[in-house]
Amino acid sequence: MNIHITNKDYLWSYAGVFLSLLANVIMTPFVMYFLDGNSFGLWGVFQSLSAITTLFDFGFSTTFSRNINYCWNGADRLIKNGIICSESSKPNFYLMKETMKACRIVFLMLASLAFILLSTIGTLYIDYISFSIEGQTPVISWFIYSLAIFLNLYFGYYGSFLRGVGAISDVNKATVLSRLTQIILTIFLLWLGYGLVGISVAYLVYGTLFRQLAKIRFYRFKGIGEGLKKITVFLPRKEIQSIFLVVWHNAWREGLVSLSNYLANQSCTIINSLYMPLTQTGAYSLAVQIASAISQISAVMYTANQPVLQSVCINNDTEKEKRTMSLIIVSFTFLNIVGLFFTVTIGLPLLRFIRPEAVVSISVMLGIGLYQFILKFRNCYTSYFSCTNRIPYVKAFLMSSIGCVMLAIICMGYFSWGVWGLIGSQLISQGVYNAWAWTRKAHQEMKLSFQDTITLGSDELRKILLDFFRRRGKK
């Protein structure tokens, strides 16, 4: 079943990403106002540690989503490496149900392991760095936050299922509603004086609501629930194990990629917290959040078109593949430049007015923004390989990330270069290879020149905008 992305899907994708990211942007002034400097810095550490869910996911979410897409497009079977082009346009519900069963078992084990580690080692770490904050508030807040991480990780597969079948609007509608709930609840609980505990409770409510909404929408999407109900035969244990082994072949590679992304990005906030005061850590963490938000908003076309890329690959539609990739690259680059410009000219001055000590300089913001651009731009191209069920970049990603952490520790601990030591370490580690190598390799395989990328991408973006305004005009 071919997957097509409509303007409605794009609009809900932007709404979902905007609200997901603006959740922190909207909440940040309130958090800065109601929390003292140390608690605000600790909140930044919470957010960095929450990103550890990507480590415990270990690539299974992405891999299962991709294989659900193959089932939806009529694949007869799943293989470890590469894809088998589909000759059927009908979903394979039997194979889909097997894949979903394997997915539930895997994520229950992963989420349980995550909670055990976060509630023990994580609690000890939080207690260690929060010595300047009186009382048990940091530990209590972290326990609630850890529980939220457990639930988000365990039930996160429903969001992956929706993306796998191309239900982009549905997954983003669930995101919008749950994020709005989180924002309102966070502000309300902060106003009541619950501080970090209130923020953690609101995060727990967000995750619980999102997973329930995503589950309902998945089973209602294009008769999926009815199709799966018709599969009443017993699913043999050996077949479930076989699915797991197929998925595991690339999942562990995706997991190492997630680990490398964490080390290359979020670990630097933790390193910063070991060498710098919590107030400065909070300023750095805020800048990383803003730059990451810009990159994620810019990458909406990339996120929304992942199921399309997977669909065109399994259906061997090379022309649409080139146009989709070009659209992703052109839209991402343009929006990232625009977003960073408005951040340094409008965003930073506004935040500096609220709390000057919690805002980095323009030069630091530009340095962090450049690094976040490189990371996401790189990922736009590596998605081409992952959509064809290949993960050739795992070794290069891991080596660069380990190098980044080592350089950051040396620059911070030995040379005392502060935040510029972190930024320099990040830029050097990616610039050596990953920033350009996968871009060149993808272009070679697709037989797509950079000039054609700009031409095709601009053309596709123009079509989307013209169609959007034409529809608005008719209304």
Write out the DSSP string of 105-134: HHHHHHHHHHHHHIIIIIHHHHHHHTTTS-
Q: Is residue 471 part of a domain?
A: no
Q: Is residue 53 part of a domain?
A: yes
Burial class (CB in 10 A: 0-12, 13-18, 19+), 121: exposed
pLDDT at position 284, please?
83
pLDDT at position 4, please?
61
Residue in the structure block whose two tokens are 């994708």:
13
Per the rule left: phi > 0, alpha: psi between -120 and 50, beta: everything else, 447 is: left
Contact yes or no for 275/413 (Cβ under 8 A): yes
467 vs 254: CA distance, rounded Å: 36
- Looking at 118-236, list the stretches that DSSP marks H as alpha helix, in order from N- to C-terminal side: 123-129, 137-155, 157-164, 168-191, 195-220, 224-229
pTM above 0.85, yes or no: no
pLDDT at position 437, please?
92
Number of domains in the chain: 1
Q: Is residue 470 part of a domain?
A: no
Q: Is residue 1 part of a domain?
A: no
What does DSSP assign to residue 49? H
Classify 439 as helix, strand or coil: helix
276 vs 281: CA distance, rounded Å: 6
pLDDT at position 336, please?
92
pLDDT at position 473, please?
57
pLDDT at position 252, please?
79
Which domain range does residue 55 map to? 7-465
CA 98 to chain centre: 26
pLDDT at position 25, please?
67
pLDDT at position 82, please?
64
Q: Is residue 472 part of a domain?
A: no
pLDDT tens digits in sequence order for the chain, 475 residues long: 555 666 666 676 777 776 766 676 677 778 877 877 777 778 777 877 776 666 677 778 778 888 888 887 777 777 777 666 556 668 888 888 888 888 888 888 888 888 888 888 888 888 887 777 766 778 888 889 888 888 888 877 888 888 888 777 888 888 888 888 988 998 999 899 888 888 889 989 988 898 889 888 888 888 888 888 888 777 777 888 888 888 887 777 877 887 787 777 777 777 877 777 777 777 888 888 888 888 888 888 887 787 778 777 777 778 888 888 999 999 999 999 999 999 989 888 888 887 777 777 888 899 999 999 998 899 888 888 887 778 888 899 989 988 888 898 888 878 878 788 888 888 999 999 998 999 999 999 888 888 999 999 899 888 888 876 676 556 5
What is the torsion angle, in degrees rounded to the nearest 10, for the CA atoms of residue 79, residue 80, residue 84 and residue 88? 40
97 vs 68: CA distance, rounded Å: 9
Q: Is residue 190 part of a domain?
A: yes
319 vs 321: CA distance, rounded Å: 5
Q: Is residue 113 part of a domain?
A: yes
- Looking at 276-431, list the stretches that DSSP marks H as alpha helix, in order from N- to C-terminal side: 278-298, 300-304, 306-314, 318-342, 348-354, 362-387, 394-409, 418-431
Q: Is residue 186 part of a domain?
A: yes
